[in-house]
Amino acid sequence: MSGLLVLAATPIGRPEDASARLRDELAGADVVAAEDTRRLRRLAGELGVEVAGRVVSYFEGNEAGRTAGLVEDLVAGRRVLLVTDAGMPSVSDPGYRLVAAAVEAGVRVTSVPGPSAVLTALAVSGLPVDRFCFEGFLPRKAGERARRLRELAQEPRTLVLFESPHRTEASLLALAEAFGADRPAAVCRELTKTHEEVVRGPLGELATWAAAGVRGEVTLVVSGRTGPAVGHVDPGDHDTLRARVASEEETGLTRKEAVRAVAESTGVPRREVYDAAHRVAHGPSRPDLDRPDPTQE
């Protein structure tokens, strides 16, 4: 009989937020795979739990090589507990690769529910919670980050993002540029910890606030679009559309990619953006002109 893979949520701040089930799993697991074994030992000590099973590290740098061995433990009938430094495994943390491999091997997977920075930030943000999406960390490079945010500019659901403290100001500035400085948002810092802080306001004001420096773990919550799309352009404004496409191409995008980016950021259909951009090299478009249309590829 195969074993059981248990994904257990650990406290995101206060140890007393740990569930009784987490204590039981730590004490009873045959194998504990931890993102940081030192933090695991510290948490177990704070909870007064003795971890009797074998403890192995399982983090981003070694999960590809260690997954097979853990699956062997599971197939052999062992109970494997997976924990990360804080919150639920697999959510911007190690876990997905092991879960997928366990499922493929026919092993049952369950979880010990508990703290989550995503849901905690969403709940305290004061922003709509009926529909939301989690975007994890934004790209570090400015160009890639800007392209990602252009894709999200028209998203009507509330957005939840993780960010490091030293990149918070840059991300808020990029969000304000892509979404508009007046878009409501919240910066949730050190959730459930002693110095917990939730700062709410328009993106532009939050970027100014963050310029003084931000400390601790940060979760950003941003309201979805409720009005016209940011950067909306009239489909008949060919000059603006041409300029937008040319600007995207200057960042290294192909014509097809640039047309898609402009269509997503302006709300203009891709075919119309392509027709406007095509006038740059070929003059006025003709309905009967036989030319390849990259938006159809």
Q: Which long-range contacts (CB under 8 A, 24 or more apart) does 43-51 make?
A: 43/10, 43/11, 43/15, 43/18, 46/15, 47/15, 47/18, 47/22, 47/23, 49/23, 51/26, 51/27
Cα four-point dihedral sign 246, 250, 254, 257: negative
Q: CA 156, CA 285: separation in Å to the nearest integer?
A: 34
Question: Of 115, 149, 174, which residue sits at a domain end?
Answer: 115
Specify whether 195 is located in the same domain as 132.
yes
Q: Domain span at residue 280?
A: 238-296
Specify whether 267 is located in the same domain as 278.
yes
Pairing of strands 54-57, 31-34: parallel
Please check the confidence at residue 15 and state whether its pLDDT lies above 90: yes
Q: What is the pLDDT of residue 228?
A: 55
Centroid of chain to Cα 2: 33
Identity (one letter) of the amino acid at 171? S
Q: How many domains does the chain have?
A: 3
Please check the confidence at residue 289 and state whether its pLDDT lies above 50: no
Q: What is the pLDDT of residue 231?
A: 55
C-beta of residue 170 within 8 angstroms of C-beta of residue 151: no
Q: What is the pLDDT of residue 79?
A: 98
Question: Of 115, 134, 161, which residue sits at a domain end?
Answer: 115
Please check the confidence at residue 291 and state whether its pLDDT lies above 50: no
In tens, the pLDDT along 158-195 reads 999 999 999 999 999 999 999 999 999 999 999 999 99
Q: Let me know if residue 227 belongs to a domain.
A: no
Residue among 6, 15, 107, 112 nearest 53 (CA): 6
Q: Which residue has the higher pLDDT, 184 or 291?
A: 184
> Cα–Cα distances in Å, from 143 out to 146, 183, 207?
5, 21, 19
Interval 233-257 mean pLDDT: 81
Stated pTM of the model? 0.75
Residue among 102, 82, 118, 97 nearest 10 (CA): 82
Q: What is the pLDDT of residue 250?
A: 83
Question: Of 222, 251, 281, which residue sits at a domain end?
Answer: 222
- Which CATH number belongs to the domain containing residue 140 in this structure? 3.30.950.10
In tens, the pLDDT along 107-164 reads 999 999 999 999 999 999 999 999 999 999 999 998 899 889 988 988 999 999 999 9
Q: Let me know if residue 229 belongs to a domain.
A: no
Q: What is the pLDDT of residue 290?
A: 40
Pairing of strands 79-83, 31-34: parallel
